Amino acid sequence: MPQPTDEQLEALEHFKSGRPLKITAFAGAGKTTTLQLLASSRRARGAYLAFNRSIAREASEKFARSTDCRTTHSIAWRAVKSARRFSSGKMNDPLYPNQLAEVLELKDVRFGTKLRLGAVHQAHILLRSVRNFCQSADEALGDAHVPQYGRLLGAGKEVLAEVRAWSVANSKAIWSRMIDHRDRLPLGHDGYLKLWALGRPKLGYQYVLLDEAQDTNPVVLGVHGHPSAQIVYVGDKHQQIYEWRGAINAMANIEGCDETYLTQSFRFGKPIADGATRVLETLGESNAVRGNPIVTSIVEANGRTRAVLARTNATVILEILQATGVGLRPYVIGGTKDLKRLLSDVFELKKGQPVLVPSSSVSRGGPTLSSSPRLKRARIYGPLSN
């Protein structure tokens, strides 16, 4: 391990106090090295909780054996599967609106005199309500978890109250089926994480290093809200990207912690650091990014390269088509496997063939094109009603 910087040593001193700690780490500022330093300072059993399995796997090769490198989902998965006797399919399989509408035999329902919701639209609302509950720190499903979008945006207060009462009642029924080991309606990853959190688990560690805390769901933060272990939140409030999935920016909102910064970047030199600082200043950041003095960096506008941030697959496909149409060679970060599968499913549906992804399923007044016959035979206790 290289010689620690002053900022890393300051984080270590705060960690030794045993108090909750927030470490704000700018891009390339030695975050993993700092966490290794903290973990190696104790012989006690601790955990490094990563955002995904690949990061956890990579970290396990760097941290001491006394530190478990896991994802929160993996801890929850093991605990719930052992306690509940759920099958792997029930734990992992996703549930899509088209499937839910089919297995629950949903029919059109009317709210008030003007609002009528079709079966798939109902299924969307119910699944979003359950998902919002699962991602929250709340003990019970309620009105706050019912989404308001699409046709609901123009509905009056009385109609919305009727929709919420209907959604809460039926979403609770779906959740009850999801957590019943006799029912094959799947839980999914959000579901088993919520079920685990509702049991107020004790992790059995003396400290927990929670990485990418700016993108942590309330349900996970709720587990650490009354910790039996010292909690260290690590991340950068300016790098949050999953607010649309219900994430809470713990780096900006969690209070009552000691706080330190890692501002010395090891990836780039002063020109890039100065540019990053100017950007962060527009967001209200008072700490400057420091560049690596031994790295030569150049900032120039060559007009040949640009980055496009896309929120949907449709936008990604459109940008690719536009780029290739003028002779450019686009690169998609994260790969194109999912896009290729989606396009393949579109061609299969146009030919009237079953598809690989249940979310691509459609019905044209005849049999539904779906790849999940197992779910169709799920043990369901009857359709929902208004």
For residues 61 and 71, give the distance between their C-alpha atoms in angstroms, rounded to a whole number. Answer: 15
For residues 26 and 187, give the distance between their C-alpha atoms in angstroms, rounded to a whole number. Answer: 36
For residues 231 and 367, give the distance between their C-alpha atoms in angstroms, rounded to a whole number. Answer: 52
Pull the structure tokens for residue 222: 């709720």
Cβ atoms of 218 and 246 closer than 8 Å: yes
Pull the structure tokens for residue 113: 């005199």
For residues 378 and 348, give the distance between their C-alpha atoms in angstroms, rounded to a whole number. Answer: 26
For residues 194 and 211, give the distance between their C-alpha atoms in angstroms, rounded to a whole number. Answer: 19
Residue 262 DSSP label: E
Q: Which residues does residue 33 pair with via DSSP β-bridges, in sequence order?
A: none
The packing angle between helices 157-178 and 119-135, to 10°, is 70
Domains, the chain, ordered by start: 6-77+194-264 (3.40.50.300), 95-180 (no CATH), 313-376 (no CATH)
pTM (two decimals): 0.78
Report the candidate in 138, 163, 119 with the shortest Cα–Cα distance to residue 221: 138
Report the candidate in 331, 361, 324, 334 with the shortest Cα–Cα distance to residue 346: 361
Cβ atoms of 289 and 38 closer than 8 Å: no
Torsion of CA 375, 141, 161, 129, to 10 degrees: -40
What letters, b where the CB count within 10 A reaches 16 and e where it falls short, cover 241-263?
eeeeeebbbbbeebeebbebbbb
Cβ atoms of 241 and 276 closer than 8 Å: no
Three-state DSSP at 11 gives helix
Where do runs of H (alpha helix) occur along 180-244?
188-198, 218-224
Q: How many CB atoms lie within 10 A of CB 229?
A: 18
What are the DSSP E strand ranges found in 10-93? 21-25, 46-50, 67-71
Report the candidate in 67, 7, 19, 72 with the shortest Cα–Cα distance to residue 232: 19
For residues 206 and 209, give the distance between their C-alpha atoms in angstroms, rounded to a whole number. Answer: 10
In whole angstroms, how far apart are CA 340 and each of 57, 119, 344, 346?
Answer: 27, 29, 6, 10
Element (H, E) at 342: helix 337-350
pLDDT value of position 364: 31
> At a CB cut-off of 8 Å and minimum separation 6, what does 165 contact?
none
> At a CB cut-off of 8 Å and minimum separation 6, what does 345 contact?
355, 356, 357, 360
pLDDT value of position 282: 95
For residues 167 and 146, give the distance between their C-alpha atoms in angstroms, rounded to a whole number. Answer: 7
The pLDDT profile of the chain, 386 residues, written as one tens digit per residue, is: 678 999 999 999 999 999 999 999 998 999 999 999 999 998 889 999 998 899 999 999 999 889 999 999 999 999 999 899 899 999 999 999 999 999 899 999 999 888 888 999 999 999 999 999 999 999 999 999 999 877 787 788 898 999 999 999 999 999 999 999 999 899 999 999 999 999 988 888 999 999 999 988 888 888 876 667 899 999 999 988 877 777 778 888 888 899 999 999 999 999 999 999 999 999 999 999 999 999 999 888 776 677 888 878 888 889 999 989 998 888 888 778 878 888 888 888 888 776 655 444 433 333 233 333 334 333 333 334 44
For residues 295 and 266, give the distance between their C-alpha atoms in angstroms, rounded to a whole number. Answer: 8
Report the candidate in 35, 27, 72, 40 with the shortest Cα–Cα distance to residue 53: 72
Three-state DSSP at 113 gives coil
For residues 251 and 267, give the distance between their C-alpha atoms in angstroms, rounded to a whole number. Answer: 22
Cβ atoms of 49 and 71 closer than 8 Å: yes
Q: How many CB atoms lie within 10 A of CB 175?
A: 22
